[in-house]
Amino acid sequence: MFLKSISLFSVLVGASVTVRKTGQGPTGYEVTFRYENVTASSITVAGGLQPFTDSYHATLSGSALYDPHNYQPGWFFANYFGPPKDLPYQMTSMGNGSWVYTTPLPSGTYYYAYLINCLGNTTCDIDSGKYVIDPDEPPFLNVQGDQTQSTFQVPFDPEFQYDPDINLNFDYALPVDEAHRGTVHNVNYTSPGSVHPAQDVHDFVIYLPHGYSNATSKKYPIMYLSHGGGGDGQDWQNLAQASHIVDRLILEEHIEPTVVVMPSFYNIAPEYKQVYGSKHAPAVAPSAPVVRENYMQYLMPFVETTFAVSTSPSERAFAGLSLGGRLTYEMYINATDYFGYFGIFSGATFGGPTSYVNASMIAAKPALREKGIFTSVGLYDFAFDDIRGLEAAFQANAVPFLGRVVPFGYHAWNTWQDCLWFFGRKALWKSLPFEANAVS
44 binds ligand NAG per the rule CB under 6 A? no
Interface pattern 292-321 for ligand NAG (x via CB under 6 A): --------------xx--------------
- What is the footprint of ligand NAG within residues 219-248 (CB under 6 A)? none
Q: Out of 18, 334, 395, 437, name the contact with ligand NAG by CB under 6 A.
A: 334
The DSSP secondary structure of 219-287, one letter per residue, reads -B-EEEEE--TT--TTHHHHHH-HHHHHHHHHHTTSS---EEEEE--TTSSGGG----SS--PPPPPPP
Separation CA 15–CA 137 (nearest Å): 8
- Return the half-sphere exposure (C-beta side, CA atoms, 13 A cut-off) of residue 356: 17
Q: Cβ of residue 137: shortest distance to ligand NAG, in angstroms?
A: 14
Q: Out of 53, 79, 107, 142, name the contact with ligand NAG by CB under 6 A.
A: 142
Q: Cβ of residue 75: shortest distance to ligand NAG, in angstroms?
A: 30
Angle at 229 between CA 341 and CA 352, to 5 degrees: 65
360 binds ligand NAG per the rule CB under 6 A? yes
336 binds ligand NAG per the rule CB under 6 A? no
Q: Cβ of residue 52: shortest distance to ligand NAG, in angstroms?
A: 26
Considering only CA atoms, which of 149, 156, 152 is closest in space to residue 71?
156
Q: Cβ of residue 172: shortest distance to ligand NAG, in angstroms?
A: 26
Q: Out of 15, 94, 367, 398, name the contact with ligand NAG by CB under 6 A.
A: 94
Q: Out of 23, 83, 84, 97, name the contact with ligand NAG by CB under 6 A.
A: 97
216 binds ligand NAG per the rule CB under 6 A? no
Q: How many residues bind ligand NAG (CB under 6 A)?
A: 36
18 binds ligand NAG per the rule CB under 6 A? no
143 binds ligand NAG per the rule CB under 6 A? yes
**405, containing H or E segment:** strand 402-406
- Write phi, then psi, for 331 (nearest 5 degrees): -65, -40
Separation CA 6–CA 248 (nearest Å): 10
Pick the stretch among 51-59, 91-99, 269-277, 317-325 that binds ligand NAG (CB under 6 A): 91-99
Q: Parallel, antiparallel, or unpaired: how do β-strands 98-104 and 29-36 relate?
A: antiparallel
Q: Out of 55, 72, 102, 188, name the contact with ligand NAG by CB under 6 A.
A: 188
353: helix, strand or coil:
helix
Q: Which residues of 215-250 are buried (b: 16+ CB within 10 A; e: fewer)?
A: eeeebbbbbbbbbbbebbbbbbbbbbbbbbbbbbbb
Q: Out of 7, 39, 217, 440, name the contact with ligand NAG by CB under 6 A.
A: 39
Considering only CA atoms, which of 260, 286, 240, 245 is closest in space to residue 187?
260
289 binds ligand NAG per the rule CB under 6 A? yes
Q: Cβ of residue 18: shortest distance to ligand NAG, in angstroms?
A: 13
Distances (CA, A) of 34 to 18, 87, 280, 284, 299: 9, 18, 29, 37, 41
Chain length of the chain: 440
Q: Out of 224, 295, 329, 429, name the contact with ligand NAG by CB under 6 A.
A: 329
Considering only CA atoms, which of 414, 364, 415 is closest in space to residue 387?
415
Q: What number of helices (H) and strands (E) belong to the chain? A: 9, 18
Pick the stretch among 145-153, 194-202, 263-271, 369-377 that binds ligand NAG (CB under 6 A): 194-202
Contact positions vs ligand NAG (CB under 6 A): 36-37, 39-40, 94, 96-98, 116-117, 121, 123-124, 128, 130, 132, 142-143, 186, 188, 197-198, 201, 203, 214, 289, 306-307, 329-330, 333-334, 355, 358, 360-361
